[in-house]
Structure 1
Amino acid sequence: MSGAPATGCPKAGRSKAGRPQTGRRGLLAAAAALPLLPALLRPARAAEWKPPRPVTLVVPFAGGSGTDAVARILAELLGPVLEVPVMVDNRAGANGTLAAMVAARAAPDGTTLFMTTNTTHSANPSLMKRIDYDPVADFTPIARMGNLPFMLVVGEQVPARSVKELLELARRQPGQLSYASGNSTGIVAGATMARMGGVEMLHVPYRSTPTAMTDVMAGRVTGMFVDLAAGLPHVQSGKLRALAMSTRERSALMPGIPSMAEAGLEGFDITSWNGVFGPAGLPGPVVATLNAAIRGVLARPEVQRRFAAIGFEAFSGPPETLDAFVRAELVKWREMIEAAGIEKE
């Protein structure tokens, strides 16, 4: 989560029933309006390096998660560019630390990459008492992928139709309402909402986002913050109700859903970001080739539209930009976690 949310977004689209437009057509239309940032997307000339064997793209979340969806699109498109198969390896569990360790311990030859998020590379150091990897020292930044916007959703059986109504419901039933999480973004966003709203809510952690969503839809948990890629299909089906985006401003991808600030929690701004890393010590020519390949893929208009259709804001840049971004995000997430009163576990 930085690629700042778009400003000057169009007015909320409405269906005939008066609902916000959340369909594929709306996403594709919004994608056409997104700036492509050509200076950032234009790849540098790649050095002469070819992967000696198939590439494994390690993902810290289960199949069906937003990051998994993004990784699978990238793997499909990156393979022909690198001229070797690119395979996704889901290593869910322990808040992404299992996958991080697999990637950090891999040989620095460019055949094991890590598609990760702020969970492992921003939040975990401030959420967990012990992690056996260093987000900066143990990895080589390759390329930023973009942002995965989150939204607050509740099950269809929950009577609240806005953030205000949800908080009022929580005040009338202290400790009875709950929020699920399948990653660090969900943990921090839920705790921040409860603190800013002055309510007591029970946190229910899950191993993965799909499992958490299942319990929200079944009514076992009140709601959760979920990424668009994973949650949007269930919002469209009516099994989940979207109350707000987790950002300061509306998302260009979902202009019909209000921001948390609009919903009354001024200053609420939490976004998830995605990037590709390799193990520490990855040679310069390998990094240059991979960065150029990823940026070349993301620069294609049809790829931008494809990512936008699943709720992902795709953009990239040089490795140095990702390195500086990670260092800044570590500080930002530490401050957010401390402000939310979350203790290390």
Structure 2
Amino acid sequence: MRRRQWLQLLAAAVLASGVPAWAQDKPIQIIVPFGPGGSGDISARLLAEFLTKKTGRTVVVDNRPGASGIIGVGAVRNAPADGSVLLLATTSTHLANPSLFRNLPYDPGEDFRLVGSFGPGSTYMLVRPDAPYKDLPAFIEAAKGRPGTINYGYFNATSQVTGALFAHEAGIELTGIPYKQVGQAMADLIAGQIQVVFTDTVQGDGFVSSGQLRALAAHSDTRLERFPDVPLIGESVPDFTIRGGFLGIAVPTATPLETQQTLNQWINEAITTEPLHARLREFAFAPEEVTLDELARFEREEREKWKQYVEIAGIEPQ
């Protein structure tokens, strides 16, 4: 079959599927404001596969790491508001950054609209397999005996605030070490340069499954199905109630409402369809269909909670 005939048949199939014109005209780009290999990157690539099949268009994932997600967010803020450029929105970019930066160059509530969610996630507290503390109470006791000498690595706002809030609620002093990407923090943890990393279960699962790192504890509503023997942080530190990480998709505010609604429908379909649904559940995410109004309400409420977390943790805005 000639190429022109093949393209005509493909175009006809796309039209028949009800794919709107904006999704037929150009490739769709998902910008991930963090490096490859993290939870957002994995989720974005699975979504890209789904959207490619759904629209018949090329869907590419573009990693733009740096500055706690600010670089990637800026790229989408200045992109065409036509549904062709999507942002992988995270706890850092949309909930925590407004309280961590005095002069944040974007306003997540004014500049963007959430159009989808992968669901709330869970958190690992990771240490080396040979770490001297075999459980969380022993870790807390060791930290109290050596204030400030135990270092935790962080690579975004979520991991920074989680570590600082845990230390506050546990009554201990930890020293935060900043990293540009999660892989760098994990490498230093494995090498013994730092002693602990707080990360979501998607990012940490491979290290735990391979035995490279040990999950000292986890944070979730209930113990993880995948590792039921891993205790929850809240079992030893009841006041630690921070919500697990958030991952979603956002578009510039000026994006037409009809386009936002279409993206919302597609993402809801994607997270309830295999393999994305099973993968998210495997990594302790809880994917559920949500409307645009529910997403807007969630964002407002959670941003206020993260403002309180930052204040309680005693983190001074940059």
Q: TM-score, with normalisation over the residues of structure 1?
A: 0.83
Q: Are the aligned partners of 1:82 and 1:293 in contact in 2 as well (CA < 8 Å)?
A: no
CA distance in 1, matches of 2:208, 2:272: 29
Q: Secondary structure at the match of 1:153?
A: strand
CA distance in 1, matches of 2:293, 2:98: 22
The residue correspondences of 1:188-199 to structure 2 (distance < 5 A) are: 188-199=161-172
- Who is 1:324 aligned against? 297
- Who is 2:174 aligned against? 201
CA distance in 2, matches of 1:312, 1:249: 12
Structure 2 CA distance for partners of 1:304 and 1:254, relative to 1, 3 Å: farther
Per-residue CA distance 1:82-137 (angstroms, 9 max, x = gap): 22111111111100111111111111011000012110100001011211000011
Counterpart check, 1:57 vs 2:30: yes
Q: Secondary structure at the match of 1:97?
A: helix
Structure 1 residue 141: deviation in Å?
2.0
Structure 1 residue 312: deviation in Å?
3.4
The residue correspondences of 1:238-253 to structure 2 (distance < 5 A) are: 238-247=211-220, 249-253=222-226
Q: Are the aligned partners of 2:190 and 2:213 in contact in 1 as well (CA < 8 Å)?
A: yes
Counterpart check, 1:82 vs 2:43: no
Count of residue pairs the alignment pairs up: 301
The residue correspondences of 1:153-164 to structure 2 (distance < 5 A) are: 153-164=126-137
Structure 1 stretches lacking a partner, 5+ long: 1-44
The residue correspondences of 1:97-246 to structure 2 (distance < 5 A) are: 97-246=70-219
Cα RMSD (Å) = 1.8
- Who is 1:342 aligned against? 315
CA distance in 1, matches of 2:120, 2:61: 19
Q: Are the aligned partners of 2:242 and 2:309 in contact in 1 as well (CA < 8 Å)?
A: no
CA distance in 2, matches of 1:154, 1:124: 26
Q: Which amino acid in the other structure matches residue 269 of structure 2?
A: G
The residue correspondences of 1:240-279 to structure 2 (distance < 5 A) are: 240-247=213-220, 249-279=222-252
Q: Greater helix share, 1 or 2?
A: 2
CA distance in 1, matches of 2:43, 2:181: 16
Structure 1 residue 214: deviation in Å?
0.8
- Who is 1:92 aligned against? 65
Out of 309-318 and 271-280, give the one that drifted further. Answer: 309-318
Structure 2 CA distance for partners of 1:312 and 1:243, relative to 1, 3 Å: same
CA distance in 2, matches of 1:205, 1:265: 27
Q: Are the aligned partners of 1:47 and 1:285 in contact in 2 as well (CA < 8 Å)?
A: no
Out of 268-277 and 111-120, give the one that drifted further. Answer: 268-277
CA distance in 2, matches of 1:46, 1:255: 44
Structure 1 residue 302: deviation in Å?
4.3
Structure 1 residue 301: deviation in Å?
4.9
The residue correspondences of 1:68-79 to structure 2 (distance < 5 A) are: 68-79=41-52
Q: Are the aligned partners of 2:86 and 2:251 in contact in 1 as well (CA < 8 Å)?
A: yes
- Who is 1:28 aligned against? none
CA distance in 2, matches of 1:311, 1:83: 30
CA distance in 1, matches of 2:174, 2:269: 44
CA distance in 1, matches of 2:210, 2:19: 47
Identity of aligned residues (%): 32
Q: Secondary structure at the match of 1:276?
A: strand
CA distance in 2, matches of 1:67, 1:302: 16
Q: Which amino acid in the other structure matches residue 336 of structure 1?
A: Y
Out of 76-85 and 55-64, give the one that drifted further. Answer: 76-85
Q: Relative contact order, CA 8 A, sep 6+: which one is greater?
A: 1
The structure whose Rg is larger is 2
Structure 2 CA distance for partners of 1:78 and 1:253, relative to 1, 3 Å: farther
Q: TM-score, with normalisation over the residues of structure 2?
A: 0.89
CA distance in 1, matches of 2:197, 2:46: 25
Deviation beyond 6 Å, 4+ runs, structure 1: none
Q: Which amino acid in the other structure matches residue 238 of structure 1?
A: G
The residue correspondences of 1:11-26 to structure 2 (distance < 5 A) are: none
Q: Are the aligned partners of 2:224 and 2:284 in contact in 1 as well (CA < 8 Å)?
A: no
Structure 1 residue 253: deviation in Å?
4.9
CA distance in 2, matches of 1:157, 1:268: 28
Q: Secondary structure at the match of 2:290?
A: coil
Q: Secondary structure at the match of 1:185?
A: helix
Structure 2 CA distance for partners of 1:311 and 1:121, relative to 1, 3 Å: same
CA distance in 1, matches of 2:170, 2:140: 6
Structure 2 CA distance for partners of 1:48 and 1:63, relative to 1, 3 Å: closer
